[in-house]
Amino acid sequence: MKREATKLRLKKMLNDDKEDINEATRAAVLSEFTHIAKEYFDTDNVTLSIKKGKAATDVNVSFKATRVKNFTTLK
Average model confidence (pLDDT) for the chain?
Answer: 87
| Tally of domains within the chain | 1
Assess if residue 33 is contained within a domain: yes
Can you tell me the mean pLDDT for 9-25?
Answer: 76
15 domain residue, yes or no: yes
Q: pLDDT band at 4, cuts 50/70/90?
A: confident
Question: What is the sign, positive or negative, of the torsion defined by CA atoms of 53, 54, 57, 61?
Answer: negative
> Is residue 44 situated within a structural domain?
yes
Which amino acid, one-letter code, is at 7?
K
Instruction: Determine the average pLDDT of the residues in 49-73.
Output: 89
Q: Please check whether residue 52 is in contact with residue 20, taking contact to mean a CB–CB distance below 8 angstroms.
A: yes
Q: Helix (H, G, I), strand (E, B), or coil: what is residue 41?
A: strand
Boundaries of domain holding 30 = 2-68
Whether 59 is in a domain gets the answer yes
The secondary structure element, H or E, covering residue 29 is helix 23-40
Has residue 14 been placed in a domain? yes
Distance from C-alpha of 12 to C-alpha of 25, rounded to nearest angstrom: 17
Residue 55: its pLDDT value, please? 84
